[in-house]
Amino acid sequence: MRGPTLRATGLVTVVLAGLLGSAFALGRSLVPEHPPSNAGATTALNGPRYADQPPSTDFPGGRATAGPSPDAAPDAAPVEPGGDGPYGTLVATGSSRVALTFDDGPDPRWTPQVLALLAQYGVKATFCVVGENAEAHPDLIRSIVAEGHTLCNHSWEHDVNLGKRSAATIRADILRTNDAILAAVPHARIAYYRQPGGAWTHPVVSACADLGLTPLHWSVDPSDWKAPGALAIETLIRTQLAPGSIVLMHDAGGDRSGTVAALQQLLPEMLVRFELESLPVGPQ
């Protein structure tokens, strides 16, 4: 009797286990699945860089279309500096001369290459520098000034939405960048300000007027921040270049090998067609 009893007990155990497993599976099927949570996920180390950020969608064409953010101060009376760009910004040199401008630096890899090419052809340009980069690379700010180029304030950390913030925040950002430049070159003349992404607003232009800075836009944009390659950059600049143009390029914010290669081809051609200048820093 002992053997049959054990076999019967084992059979009952197997049957019960099967029934319990079926019930558990049925219960699981009745519970809706939840997607895995992203809580605690970290941002990729290689996040967006300055020039990889397109203009804010709140400012198509450099003009504000959306309402101000909660932090923004109401627009004061419109300030028109006298230029033909968004909010009266400067988009032309005012003469037949062409101005080359370089944004987002200084960068220890690309800025020296741009400076070397400009020196090779005896060309002066305008460098729109980001405050935190100026603070990190004061030696490059000194090189830019020593080689006779013009400096332009390009905000502290390339915040394309800076123009939507309060007047006090905008002013503090611009002054902080000026301070970083002046820490490197105490007697540097900073005559221009360029808004990241071309996202101009009346408060930004008003801050420029208050601080004695000319708001600087552009008329030729090869979109080299997208790193489309040297040929694409060259072609667009050749197509759009005209007397009085202000050309936008970048010496930081990503891989600028295409910009450097394009510049190497374009500089001798430009010098045949135009006189190239750095934007003046004296009375306008």
pLDDT 10s per residue in the chain (284 long)?
Answer: 455 554 544 444 444 445 444 444 444 444 333 333 333 332 233 334 665 555 544 444 333 333 333 343 444 444 556 789 999 999 999 999 999 999 999 999 999 999 999 999 999 999 999 999 999 999 999 999 999 999 999 999 999 999 999 999 999 999 999 999 999 999 999 999 999 999 999 999 999 999 999 999 999 999 999 999 999 999 999 999 999 999 999 999 999 999 999 999 999 999 999 999 999 986 44
Kindly name the residue from 137, 149, 202, 250 that is annotated as catalytic: 250
Would you tell me how many other CB atoms lie within 10 Å of the CB of residue 84?
11
Tell me the CA distances in angstroms from 220 to 89, 217, 237, 271, one per residue in order: 14, 10, 7, 17
Q: Is 103 a catalytic residue?
A: yes
pLDDT score at 52: 54
End-to-end alpha carbon distance in the chain:
114
Active-site residue, selected from the candidate residues 103, 104, 224, 251: 103
CA dihedral 63, 64, 66, 71 (to 10 degrees): 160
250 is catalytic: yes
Strands (E), the chain: 98-103, 126-129, 150-153, 190-193, 214-215, 246-250, 276-277
Would you say 226 and 258 are in contact if contact means Cβ atoms under 8 Å apart?
no
> CA distances (Å), 150 to each of 17, 41, 145, in order?
82, 43, 7
Q: Which residues contact 62 (CB under 8 A, 6 or more apart)?
A: 55, 85, 86, 89, 195, 197, 198, 199, 200, 217
